């Protein structure tokens, strides 16, 4: 397994003797120069605080699949800073998102419940088809508590910077955040804003403890990072990445042997990886800012994603089986529950977090109880479905991972258990609705084993039925409609075409 190449900013001796940092780590600086500049030293008095209550920096990298992160074995140097956090923190090698698109996934993260229990979902039309932005959506249920609400009640300052409308107020997903910025902006501007807000509160003596949620959207379509990141991972033929590669193409009836398709895929992945490196460098700026303020060692970093992205991993399967209202196959997200959309990175680092790698399956919905435990907040009466992730370092009890909430096409459910994964569709083109995969020997989920392993399929089917039967069905979240401003924001990032 590849380890991070960069030295961690969390290391006690990192650049302390030199008193210099790269210009890219300075708030508002040019992220692309290599010249060193004097390190700014904080002079404002620090507020008094409870030493047992850590700060949190919750970094959500929208649309990030785990297998493009260095700490998960990716060969390109896309994430040197995240890798350094992984070296000194807790890495979950098999983290599973509970939905393949943003709204439902974030609802599950903030509540530690399944998406269909809490709202923030896509409504079907009379035929059962879901089409995000067109068939209607629902908000997060008002009666379900969120992480930010609990932290705010317990004295935390809560900040949210969210450029994706589907992760923000449109679905009611920012309840409990006292400071909110909800507009589209690239990673450097988003980070500038986050640091400006933190600096103002620190200088006013009121920012600790804090929970900072920064939602980076740059690897999401349209994917076109600024120089030098745009050219950092060039195409195999040496041709430059162009603006036309930032948007999806070849989604309808692509030919896997077509040289134009293969070239486009190469460019698209190069831009995706460059955008990820751009985001990684911005995250390091947050850590460096906290270090200059003397509070990095009491801050927990969480690196997570709402879902992954498909680069035609299951395009042939989708042509044969999926009923996708968009008329495309193999690209984007929201349409399936295969691993390229549900396998996400999950890394914790900081005070109270052990060091190591956890091989067993965990879920995004385990984040909320972990945050509560680290913050010292009692959560037994919150009716959470997740567990404190730190207990996985000493537990042999395997977890099952349930995912659902398709946003394009007919509904699907999946269950991962003890190395196997069952996907169940409400309908398919062929009429067959269940597919079984051996994740231990076939992590890419390319070989259906249903006919070979009927007993295992039956066991997982029974577990899936039990999960569905045990869901706590409350009132459906209120229906929400797109206003003109939200529609424009969503169209800009590839939705509603």
List, for residues 30-81, the tens digit of each pLDDT value.
333 332 222 222 333 333 445 579 999 999 999 999 999 999 999 999 999 9
Chain-centroid distance of CA 108 in Å reads: 12
Domain ranges of the chain: 20-43+54-492
Supply the pLDDT for residue 95: 98
Coil vs helix vs strand at 16:
coil
Supply the pLDDT for residue 208: 86
Tokens matching residue 481: 């409609």
Pairing of strands 157-161, 137-138: unpaired
Q: Class for domain 20-43+54-492, per CATH?
A: alpha beta
234: Cβ contacts below 8 Å, ≥ 6 apart: 240, 241, 270
* DSSP codes of every residue in 300-369: EEEEE-S---EESTTHHHHHHH---TT---SEESSS--SHHHHEE--EEESTT---EEEEEEEEGGGHHH
Supply the pLDDT for residue 2: 34
229 close to 218: Cβ distance less than 8 angstroms = no
**pLDDT tens sequence across 434-453:** 999 999 999 999 999 999 99
Q: Which residue ranges in the chain fall short of pLDDT 50? A: 1-49
Supply the pLDDT for residue 481: 65
What is the C-alpha separation between 328 and 334, in angstroms, rounded?
12
For Cα atoms 218, 224, 227, give the angle at the middle one, nearest 5 degrees. 105
Q: How far apart are the first and last CA of the chain?
A: 40
Supply the pLDDT for residue 457: 98
Supply the pLDDT for residue 120: 87
Supply the pLDDT for residue 477: 60
Q: What is the DSSP letter of 8?
A: P
35 close to 23: Cβ distance less than 8 angstroms = yes
424: Cβ contacts below 8 Å, ≥ 6 apart: 412, 413, 414, 433, 434, 461, 464
Closest CA to 391 of 354, 416, 363, 417: 354
424 close to 412: Cβ distance less than 8 angstroms = yes
Supply the pLDDT for residue 235: 96
Give the burial class of 304: count Cβ atoms within 10 A of its Cβ; 0-12 exposed, 13-18 middle, 19 or more buried. buried
Supply the pLDDT for residue 27: 39
């Amino acid at each position: 397994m590849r380890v991070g190449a960069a030295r961690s900013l969390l290391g006690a001796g990192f650049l302390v003797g030199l008193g210099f940092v790269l210009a890219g780590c300075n708030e508002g600086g040019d992220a692309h120069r290599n010249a060193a500049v004097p390190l700014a030293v904080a002079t404002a008095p620090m507020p008094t605080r409870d030493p047992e209550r850590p700060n949190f920096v919750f970094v959500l990298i929208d649309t990030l699949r785990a297998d493009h992160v260095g700490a998960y074995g990716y060969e390109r140097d896309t994430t040197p800073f995240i890798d350094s956090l992984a070296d000194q923190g807790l890495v979950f090698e098999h983290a599973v998102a509970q939905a393949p698109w943003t709204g439902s996934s974030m609802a599950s993260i903030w509540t530690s419940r399944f998406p269909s229990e809490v709202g923030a979902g896509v409504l079907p039309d009379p035929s059962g088809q879901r089409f995000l932005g067109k068939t209607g959506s629902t908000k997060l249920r008002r009666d379900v508590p969120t992480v930010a609400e609990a932290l705010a009640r317990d004295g935390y300052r809560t900040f949210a910077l969210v450029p994706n409308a589907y992760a923000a107020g449109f679905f009611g997903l920012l309840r409990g955040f006292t400071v909110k910025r909800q507009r589209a902006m690239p990673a450097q501007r988003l980070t500038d804003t986050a640091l400006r807000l933190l600096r103002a509160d620190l200088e006013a003596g009121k920012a600790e403890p804090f929970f900072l949620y920064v939602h980076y959207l740059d690897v999401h379509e349209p994917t076109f990072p600024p120089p030098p990141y745009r050219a950092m991972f060039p195409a195999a033929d040496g041709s430059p990445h162009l603006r036309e590669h930032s948007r999806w193409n070849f989604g309808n009836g692509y030919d896997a042997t077509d040289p134009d398709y293969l070239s486009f895929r190469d460019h698209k992945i190069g831009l995706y990886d460059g955008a990820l490196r751009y985001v990684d460098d911005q995250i390091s700026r947050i850590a460096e800012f906290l270090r200059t303020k003397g509070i990095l060692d009491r801050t927990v970093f969480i690196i997570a994603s709402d879902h992954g992205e498909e680069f035609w991993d299951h395009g042939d399967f989708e042509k044969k089986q999926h009923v996708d209202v968009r008329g495309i196959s193999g690209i984007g997200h929201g349409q399936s529950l295969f691993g390229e959309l549900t396998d996400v990175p999950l890394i914790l680092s900081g005070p109270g977090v052990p060091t190591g790698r956890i091989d067993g399956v965990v879920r995004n919905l385990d984040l909320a109880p972990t945050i509560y435990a680290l913050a010292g907040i009692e959560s037994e009466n919150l009716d959470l479905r997740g567990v404190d992730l730190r207990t996985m370092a000493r537990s042999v009890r395997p977890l099952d991972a349930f995912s659902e909430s398709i946003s394009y096409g007919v509904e699907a459910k999946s269950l991962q258990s003890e190395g196997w994964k069952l996907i169940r569709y409400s309908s398919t083109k062929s009429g067959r609705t269940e597919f079984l995969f051996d994740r231990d020997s076939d992590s890419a989920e390319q070989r259906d084993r249903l006919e070979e392993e009927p007993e295992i399929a039956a066991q997982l089917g029974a577990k899936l039925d039990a999960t569905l039967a045990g869901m706590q069905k409350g009132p459906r979240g209120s229906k929400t409609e797109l206003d003109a401003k939200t529609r424009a924001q969503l169209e800009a990032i590839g939705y509603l075409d």
